[in-house]
Structure 1
Amino acid sequence: MGRVFGNPVLVQSIKQVAGLMAMAVRYDNKLPDKDTSASRGLYALPFSGAWTVLNGGVDEETSHSWDVYTQRYAYDFVILDDEGRSCPSDADPADPAAYYCYGREVLAPADGVVAESHEGCPDARIALDGKIGCGGDDIRGNYVLIEHAGGEFSCLCHLKAGSVAVRAGDRVARGQAVGQCGSSGNSSEPHLHFHVQLGASFYSSPGVPIRFEGVRARPAPNYAAADPRPVPADAHDLFPPFLARGLRVEAAGEACDGAVAAAFLRN
């Protein structure tokens, strides 16, 4: 038993299972949904420039992890080129630094106070063979957890080792750099995992559908090259304010209202 509980990743898995059971009881299987329990706050994209939603949505078909309640409405963001590649064709795909998003700044999505930050995890081995490993002692890798108004907490995961720029108790402003994109923790390749949860606990706080503001979005070119799963025909109809996999997104600035964003999506 000592070996089992000496494995931090296994311990986290056990805590996740226990948390799922606790949330099922607490919420009587009536977990947050897009129609009645979306985020109270409005959130900006946690990066600058154009990134692609590789995983995530607010319905079961597009969900990041529908049966993992904390991550039900999570998103995985990467940078893809117009050929649908996450790193140049002439680069070494085993090298995390070769990926377009690696080392890019990760930004606070809203004003708040840092509740937790974690450092010390190395990048995971790139899953070229489809087998995902874990770099370090936490499946989130290096991460930042920020408390926002209304009891909502944003979680920014898989950050680059040595890049976490904030500590618990620090006040942060929307758009402030808190770290850099990496591939630490349970990661197949460099990307940014982002979700909002109702509470500080990663294990027993359900995720909520994130209402984004100030976002321009359109279908990513050649998305199927990066993700062979078909995108449901209506997956993007809920934007704004919700995102779904297959969208290329970028900040539109304060002047972009819903009508402008929707028009951009149609073009």
Structure 2
Amino acid sequence: MIVWKRHGLVFGAGTLCILVNNGGVSPLWITGLVLLAVGGAMRWSLARRQRPRGGHAPVALNMPVEGRWIAYNGPATKVPSHNTHSHAQTYAIDLIHVPAAGPQAPPFTRVWPFGRRPDRYPTFGQPVLAPANGVVVATAGQMRDHLSRMSLPAHAFLYLEGFVRGLGWPCHLWGNYVLLDLGDGVVAGFAHLRRGSVRVAPGDRVTRGQQLAECGNSGNSSEPHLHFQLMDGPDPVTARGIPFGWSYRDDFGAERSGVPQDTTAFTSHNTSLF
């Protein structure tokens, strides 16, 4: 497993062999192709190994945010929600803050501007809360908050950027993050956090509702948002995803439980209905 986790290095070495080769079909070129094939196979097999075993009941939690939000790439619409089991993202969800009144996020553009500063988005700086009592097992907090990728050329760049980031360590994909052990083999992951906002350290015990950090735009992120997921271990490269649910109110005031459908606007209601 330790070797398989290094698939990015194998793939990168293969790419480098092909790029520096200037002799046509040469031993270096063939070596590069072999390394690309081996690295790709390692990544595929690792992601396949992360398929959930099934049968795990959704874990009832408080929402990790407060206020009005919209769900994207969530498990209520499709599983795996992020189109892959890799990095334990089977049941992950992305949350974007959409206040009922006040400034809204800039619109998606065709060409220009290529990207915007993250502080132009209402999600940026929103508090990220512990959805249950737990112990912090890992954090990262010094990756920069980059410009948004909310234009056609920037979106194309995002896909290439995401592929490259996926070959590295979890912090390259997740940006700044917090991993919180909730007990009973369940670990919560919070990703794309704001640089310098992480308020906890490994070993800290936190209580439900305690602020952990702020939403940011670090890592593989198109715009400021919170990526949230549960998994059965502290290593997202080898863990499997776990389903979850929370209580919330829709825009008509109805109380619901579970996970909102994609593009659904809802408000946190942190009293469990399970």
User: TM exceeds 0.5?
Assistant: yes
**1:206 Cα deviation from its structure 2 partner:** 1.2
| Partner residue, 1:65 | 82
Task: Give the superposition deviation at 1:124.
Answer: 3.0
Q: Within 5 Å, which residues of 2 pair with 1:50-199? A: 50-58=68-76, 60=78, 63-69=80-86, 70-80=88-98, 87-88=105-106, 94-127=116-149, 128-129=151-152, 130-131=155-156, 132=158, 133=161, 138-199=172-233
Q: What is the identity, as a one-letter code, of the residue corresponding to 1:113?
A: V
Give yes or no for the alignment of 1:38 onto 2:71. Answer: no
Instruction: Tell me the CA shift for residue 64 of structure 1.
Output: 2.4
Matched residue type, 2:260? L
Asked if 2 retains the 8 angstrom alpha-carbon contact of 1:106 and 1:178, the reply is yes
Partner SS, residue 241 of structure 2: coil
With normalisation by structure 2, the TM-score equals: 0.69
* Structure 2 counterpart of 1:208, from 222, 242, 250: 242
1:224 alignment counterpart: none
Deviations 1:11-44 (A, max 9, x none): x9998545324335xxxxx633xxx3133x4211
Give structure 2 stretches of 5+ with no counterpart.
1-8, 16-38, 108-112
- Spell out, residue by residue over 1:35-60, the C-alpha distance to the aligned partner (whole angstroms, 9 max, x if none): x3133x42111111111102212453
Q: 1:193 to 1:176 in 2, by over 3 A?
A: same
- Runs of 4+ in structure 1 deviating by more than 6 angstroms, as ranges, are 12-15
DSSP-derived class of the 1:51 partner: strand
Shift of 1:3: 9.9
Q: Give the whole-Å Cα distance in 1 for the aligned partners of 2:44 and 2:139.
A: 23
Q: Is the 8 A contact 2:174 2:219 kept in 1?
A: yes
Mapped to 2, the partners of 1:252 and 1:179 lie a distance apart of 20
- Find the residue that maps to 1:52 and give its secondary structure: strand
Number of residue equivalences: 224
- Aligned residue in 2 for 1:243: 260
Which structure has more helix as a fraction of its residues?
2
The one-letter amino acid paired with 2:268 is A
Cα distance per residue 1:122-164 (max 9 Å; x no partner): 1233112313146995110000000012110000000000111
Shift of 1:243: 2.7
Q: Which of 242-251 and 105-114 deviates more?
A: 242-251
Q: How far apart are the structure 1 equivalents of 2:213 and 2:141?
A: 10
Q: What is the CA–CA distance in structure 2 between the aligned matches of 1:38 and 1:168, rounded to whole Å?
A: 28
**How far apart, CA to CA, are the structure 2 residues paired with 1:253 and 1:2?**
45
User: Partner residue of 2:47?
Assistant: 20
Note the aligned Cα RMSD (angstroms).
Answer: 3.6
Separation in structure 1 between the aligned mates of residue 72 and residue 48 of structure 2, nearest angstrom: 28
- Over 3 Å counting, the alpha-carbon distance change for 1:142 and 1:252 in structure 2 is same
